[in-house]
Homo-oligomer: A and B are copies of this chain.
């Protein structure tokens, strides 16, 4: 259920109503702190109505029929725009974020980041803490990698996103990264999601590789219901019987999510296909069906990458991607 306020309601009044609800042991959350103040609340519609009845500041109390509430477009009809540094995701611009899967060294990062920026990317991506299937695979540079990312990001004046793999790391990540990514294996790490709900940093939430769309939205609900509305959804492919591609990129999820949620949606065609030659066509397709952005793996020497080289573009291919998606961005009535 959501409580929507009349235009001009002060935040003090909203805070009082929130207090009324929580003092009656109702689970209530404030979202969208500026223009659209809304309270999400769990509980019996009748009891809540009686409690708040006739409050002059309340526009309406609305039941949401889906299991997810605060992420629902029924609750908040307008698109949420998430600011990642100076970049806004979910607005007219299609945002492209590029960079290596894992940070390997200062040279690798600088070289790739510079190329990515020159090609026109809006943001940088890179993994410092890696979540790997085998304990014997490269696990990332850790805090050292994070600091490198921060340094490069400052030098190039580009925001960056990096994966956080545990609740304990949220604080250090939040200090350095512009946005925090939740990886596919952690989409249902609810402790981590709750911790991310308590910081105000933007969160890039990747869909679990075997998560349904409903579970994906409920994972976002975990973050938002803790108080952080800055969530970007990322479709990155699901696990199916098909062995040709690494995952099956579920692009139909993009328009579905845009219809049923107000959150921005971006697509990762690199993990979504696992094959560099499919990244450009699937980037075009993602934009055509309404994606707000792309997350692309770029590596200076894909064949020497310590992780996921098979799906990485080299800088020349990335520049080609930026060129080739342009007419599709325009066809979608958007800008690059």
Contact = CB atoms under 8 A, between A and B. Distances in A.
23 contacts: A67-B136, A131-B190, A135-B190, A135-B222, A165-B191, A166-B166, A209-B210, A210-B241, A212-B242, A238-B240, A239-B241, A240-B240, A240-B241, A243-B243, A248-B248, A249-B251, A249-B252, A255-B281, A255-B282, A284-B331, A284-B332, A288-B288, A327-B331
Interface stretch (A10-18, A54-62, A144-152, A270-278): A270-278
Given A285-B285, A285-B286, 10 more contacts: A67-B134, A133-B218, A238-B248, A239-B241, A255-B278, A256-B278, A284-B289, A284-B332, A285-B288, A327-B330
Given A249-B252, A252-B249, A255-B281, A210 B222 contact: no
Interface residues of A, number: 69
A132 B255 CA distance: 26
Contacts of A239: 210, 241
A69 B225 CA distance: 42
A183 to B, nearest CB: 9
Contact of A252 (B131, B213, B248, B255): B248
Contacts of A190: 131-132, 135, 165
Contact of A331 (B194, B275, B289, B330): B330
Contacts of A186: 189
A258 to B, nearest CB: 8
A22 interface: no
For the complex of A and B, the 6 pairs showing the least CB-CB separation, nearest first, are A210-B210, A327-B331, A288-B288, A255-B281, A285-B289, A285-B285
A254 interface: yes
A68 B186 CA distance: 22
Contacts of A9: none
A214 B244 CA distance: 8
Contacts of A285: 251, 285-286, 288-289
